[in-house]
Amino acid sequence: MSGPLLQVRNVESYYGPIMALRGVSLEVERAQIVAVLGANGAGKSTLLRTISGVMDPRVGTIAFDGQEIAGQDPDKVVRLGMSLVPEGRQVFPFLTVAENLDMGAFGRRDRTGVPEDLERVYRYFPRLAERTGQQAGLLSGGEQQMLAIGRAMMGRPKMLLLDEPSLGLSPLLVQEIFAIVAQINGDLGTTVLLVEQNARAALGFAHYGYIMELGRIALSGDCADLRDNPDVQEFYLGIKEGGIRGKRRWRRRKTWR
């Protein structure tokens, strides 16, 4: 099948009366890593929740691999090949690492491929292989993040949705995890859509980026172009001149051009 793997058009999502997504359209090409950046409350997580079926959009369409998935139950979406790695990891704390990974294969019909995939997860995340029998709740934050990604991979997804994988991790660990995700993308061709606040890390490894503000896309482009955009530099990368006093505190108004 040709065309983008994921096509989101005019999606509006609400929390009760509050409109969280005010018409979002975006596309993710096959085998691409796409980053969605934005501040707190911009609607990034809502976007992932809406795509993965946890929330239903009130307006708009979501096509995954040519199939309409807006309003579908999340388990159906997972079966179609889209796995969400939720914000804050959400591993099963009292299950072991191996049991957690097994949960990721829960929806699989081809049980024969499971051991092979398990081995692959352990290959990408050797730290998990060292701790197969350990309760997930006793892992470090970085290991839990690895476990959550590994668990999602057990569903053999065409596409991984990552919700703030860098949250609460040391810069070194963020580098490590992003490197592994990039490797998975390169080796297996798994498409990745990730939502991040850590713009520097995300723009460093994604191919294409969207900037979200107040429930809308404010800017999109190749990550290399986004890195050069003056608004992205000032508001997302923290690069700014000190101004005449060398201590400029005020911010320019964003124009997103």
Partner 1 sequence: MALTRPNGRTSLFDRLPATPARLFWQRVAETSDSVALREKALGIWRSFTWADYGESVRLAAHAMADAGVGRGDVISVLSENRPEWMYCDIAAISIGAIGNGIYTTSAPPQVAYVLRDSRTRIVFVEDEEQLDKVLEVRADCPDLLRVVVIDPTGLREFDDPMVETFAAFLERGAALRAADPDFVDSEVAKGRPDDTAILIYTSGTTGRPKAAMITNDNLIFQIGTSPTVAMLNPRDEILSFLPLCHIAERNFALFFPIAHGNVVNFAESPETLFGNLRELSPTAVFAPPRLWEKMYSTVTLTVKDAPPFQRWAYGRALAIGNAVAASEERGEKPGLLAGLFERLFARPVLYNVRAALGLNRIQHALTGAAPVAPDLIRWFRALGIRLREGYGLTESVGLVTMMPPGQTVPGSCGTPPDGIELRLSERGEVLVRGRNVFRGYLNKPKQTAEALDADGWLHTGDVGELGSDGHLRITDRLKDVIITEGGKNITPSEIENRLKFSPFIADAVVFGDRRKYLTCLVMIDYDNVAKFAQDNRVPFTNYGSLCKAPEVDKLIDGEIRRVNAGLSRVEQIKNYRLIDIELTAEDEELTPTMKLKRTLIGRKYAHMIDAMY
Instruction: Quote the least distance from Cβ 64 to partner 1, whole Å.
Output: 16
Reduce the secondary structure of the chain to three states and give it as a string.
Answer: CCCCCEEEEEEEEEECCEEEEEEEEEEECCCCEEEEEECCCCCHHHHHHHHHCCCCCCEEEEEECCEECCCCCHHHHHHHCEEEECCCCCCCCCCEHHHHHHHHCCCCCCHHHHHHHHHHHHHHCHHHHCCCCCEHHHCCHHHHHHHHHHHHHCCCCCEEEEECCCCCCCHHHHHHHHHHHHHHHHHHCCEEEEEECCHHHHHHHCCEEEEEECCEEEEEEEHHHHHHCHHHHHHCCCCCCCCCCCCCCCCCCCCCC
111 binds partner 1 (CB under 8 A): no
The correct pick among 31, 39, 54, 59 for binding partner 1 (CB under 8 A) is 59
For residue 19, state whether it binds partner 1 (rule: CB under 8 A): no
210 binds partner 1 (CB under 8 A): yes
Q: Among 20-28, 88-96, 131-139, 193-201, which window interacts with partner 1 (CB under 8 A)? A: 20-28
Nearer to partner 1, 111 or 249 (CB): 249
Q: Does 26 bind partner 1 (CB under 8 A)?
A: yes
- The CB-of-11 to partner 1 minimum distance in angstroms stands at 10
Contact set for partner 1, span 212-251 (CB under 8 A): 216-220, 243-245, 247-250
Interface contacts to partner 1, rule CB under 8 A: 9-10, 12, 22-23, 25-26, 59-61, 210, 216-220, 243-245, 247-250, 253, 255-257
